Amino acid sequence: MLKRMEAVAFGALGGMCPTIAKLAGSYSSNPLQDVPALGVFIGLALFAFLGGVIALGFGSNEVKAAIVAGIAAPAIVTNVISGAQEKDPGAELALLNFVPAAYAEGPVLGTPITRFAGQPQGFVTVRPTVVGGSPLQVGTLNYAWMRNGVVIADSAGELRASYAQSLAVPFGATELTVAGQTISVQDVLSEGGVVDVTVFAKATFGGDLRWALGGQRQLQVGGVALEATAAQ
């Protein structure tokens, strides 16, 4: 028969098991992603506390019973959070301006709306690649066309981070800016009209706390690299 403190300890272990399993699965499938933020460890501590309380409250007298009782704690919280997300379809994008996404099978071309005077001087294809991101979410990257360092009016928009998109180049545009990084339009067009955008995702306290508690993981842009690539 377990003593009360032993039951609390095994309940706490059970409370942490689901989050530890999530971490193990995530980092084994994508070892290049950023290290967990402090929010994950706070989530673990909360589940350990809840698991210990539930195991103690149920009077678990065996190791297995205490661990199972502890596992029930994160299951309850996860169900509550999942229900809240189902009621709010925009919750995935509400906190940060970028959340990495899984690629569909093959690039899907889209055409963001851009408004500018005159005919386009060409077209470029933007191909984003997320490094260190979770493969479960969708998001956007801000971009703008500029002429000699000045943004052309009404020609900014958003790029999906999950698939390639074809963009019309406004007449007179000299630079394309994506998430604060700039590349020469002339260089892009001379290389065949393709821009490879490498996005380095970064874990955040709030996004990892939400993830540890059973919600969608939300990351932020830790850096962006642009490269003109010859069309294939």
Q: Where are the domains of the chain?
A: 4-87, 122-229
Query: Are the C-beta atoms of 91 and 33 separated by less than 8 Å?
Result: no
pLDDT tens-digit series, residues 173-226: 899 998 889 999 999 998 888 999 988 888 888 888 888 888 777 777 777 888
Q: Which amino acid is it at 231?
A: A
Query: Are the C-beta atoms of 178 and 197 separated by less than 8 Å?
Result: yes
pLDDT-based confidence at residue 142 (cuts at 50, 70, 90): confident
Q: Can you tell me which residue has the tokens 């971490």?
A: 23
Interior/surface letters 154-180, b for 16+ CB within 10 angstroms, e for the rest: ebbbebbbbbbbebbbbeebbbbbbbe
Cα(90)–Cα(15) distance, integer angstroms: 29
- CA 58 to chain CA mean position, Å: 38
Give percent of the chain with pLDDT exceeding 70.
Answer: 75
Higher-confidence residue of 130 and 105: namely: 130
pLDDT-based confidence at residue 154 (cuts at 50, 70, 90): low
Which pTM was predicted? 0.62
pLDDT tens-digit series, residues 63-81: 888 888 888 877 777 766 6
